[in-house]
Structure 1
Amino acid sequence: MQLDSSKRGFQPHRFRYWLTEEEDPQREEKIVEGCQVYAQAAERAKRGERTISMDELTGVQALERKHPDLPMQPGHVLRREFEYIRHGTLSWFIKFDVVRGQVIEPSWGPRRTEEDALAHLQRLIASDPTATKWHIVLDNLNIHQSESLVRWIADLEGIEQDMLGVKDKRGIHHSMASRAAFLHDPTHRVVFYYTPKHASWMNQVEIWLSILVRKLLKRGHFISLDDLRDQMLAFMAYYNRTMAKPIKWTYTAY
């Protein structure tokens, strides 16, 4: 008697994603430091310091369902039309205030470039001239360790541009690692903390983004890019008004 292939453990119609871990020699150090950033945020806020968790949400689609949903009924879940009309995408820069538990100063547009990231961060710092220091948690995306970002921070710190070296050749601009080290300097007014590779769960804004996806985007119906923008901004305002609270970060890395 022959057994069905699925009963022998072969299921060629199925597959599972796999992520090959990239070595990060500073992984434990970064996790410990990230936990300390969150743990000390409230105390630092008393001295006028801000702690921000930042990430991007790219390619958010404005999808309009071709026909209305069929509402839930006893014994039947909500049924959604399979066909849709695509109205384009928006890329978002989202910032989460760790102490206040609120989403602040979002930016959106058709792209997510080095120039966009720099402008987004510049608007953040300009939004609160009274802040004595900024602590910003973000991932290792190359636009978070860019030449233009280094030049901006150097200007803020009064560092001469010719002291920065040449991109991909020497000095602070030599590599992404050297630029990240400069941007992480704790003596700066704006300090960047980078999560370890493949550890985006260390970034608190990821928790908020999952709320956004579950409560709005997953079941969203958007008739245009403007409608998508307006609904997302309305959700952020609603969240800040009725749901916002600091995330209770219990992970200690030990």
Structure 2
Amino acid sequence: MATGHVTAACRPRHRHTELLAFLRQVARAYPDVELHLIMDNYATHKTPQVQAWLEDDPRIHIHFTPTSASWLNMAEIFFSVIARAAIRRGVFTSLKDLNAKIRAFIDGWNQRCHPFAWTKTPDEILTKCRPETN
């Protein structure tokens, strides 16, 4: 979020082993900074293996979005950008072709990246996070 630069990986599955590989990739990409990662509450993100790995690297902090608040997860917002700009109405001859086009989009994005800017005020965001009361 701070720079808009995207570190990405396309994987066929989303188990804890793939998440750990991605976390290692992120840790290598940003070796000298404290990292705050925002994730949804998907069970893979909370496995004992992931928790143990995170405990070994105190500079990495995980923040979980509230349930039913995917709009707070910047990855979901970026997935929406990719879907609209690179995937929707696209023609892909194979999964490899789709992955290559996603990678090309991300590479182009990173060449001209800029910080993500929220369009809502903090109060508007917090109001949306609160459970409705009747």
Alignment partners' CA distance in 1, 2:96 and 2:35:
32
Aligned to 2:111: 241
2:98 pairs with 228, 231, 235, which one? 228
Deviation at 1:155, TM superposition (A): 2.9
Q: Secondary structure at the match of 1:107?
A: coil
Alignment partners' CA distance in 2, 1:128 and 1:240:
15
Compared CA separation, residues 247 and 153, structure 1 to 2 (3 A): closer
Select the structure with the greater relative contact order (CA < 8 A; seq sep ≥ 6).
2
- Over residues 52-110 of structure 1, what are the superposed CA-to-partner deviations in whole Å (9 max), with x where a residue is unaligned? xxxxxxxxxxxxxxxxxxxxxxxxxxxxxxxxxxxxxxxxxxxxxx0111212x11222
The runs of at least 4 aligned residues of structure 1 exceeding 6 Å deviation read: none
Identity of matched residues, % = 30
Matched, 1:115 2:17: yes
Larger Rg, first or second structure (1 or 2): 1
Letter in 2 for 1:236: I
Aligned to 1:68: none
Deviation at 1:251, TM superposition (A): 3.0
Q: Within 5 Å, which residues of 2 pair with 1:166-205? A: 188-205=58-75
Deviation at 1:219, TM superposition (A): 1.2
Alignment partners' CA distance in 2, 1:109 and 1:239:
20
Could you tell me the TM-score, scaled by structure 1's length? 0.46
Letter in 2 for 1:191: H
User: Could you list the runs of 5+ residues in structure 2 that have no partner in the other structure?
Assistant: 128-134
Matched, 1:128 2:30: yes
Please state which structure has a larger fraction of its residues in helix: 2
- Over residues 28-72 of structure 1, what are the superposed CA-to-partner deviations in whole Å (9 max), with x where a residue is unaligned? xxxxxxxxxxxxxxxxxxxxxxxxxxxxxxxxxxxxxxxxxxxxx
1:144 pairs with 45, 56, 62, which one? 45
Could you tell me the TM-score, scaled by structure 2's length? 0.83
Deviation at 1:241, TM superposition (A): 2.0
Alignment partners' CA distance in 2, 1:206 and 1:120:
16
Letter in 2 for 1:130: D
Aligned to 2:78: 208
- Over residues 162-203 of structure 1, what are the superposed CA-to-partner deviations in whole Å (9 max), with x where a residue is unaligned? xxxxxxxxxxxxxxxxxxxxxxxxxx3211100000011111
Please state which structure has a larger fraction of its residues in strand: 1
Alignment partners' CA distance in 2, 1:111 and 1:134:
24
Q: In the alignment, is the contact (CA less than 8 A) between 2:3 and 2:116 conserved in 1?
A: no
Alignment partners' CA distance in 2, 1:149 and 1:196:
19
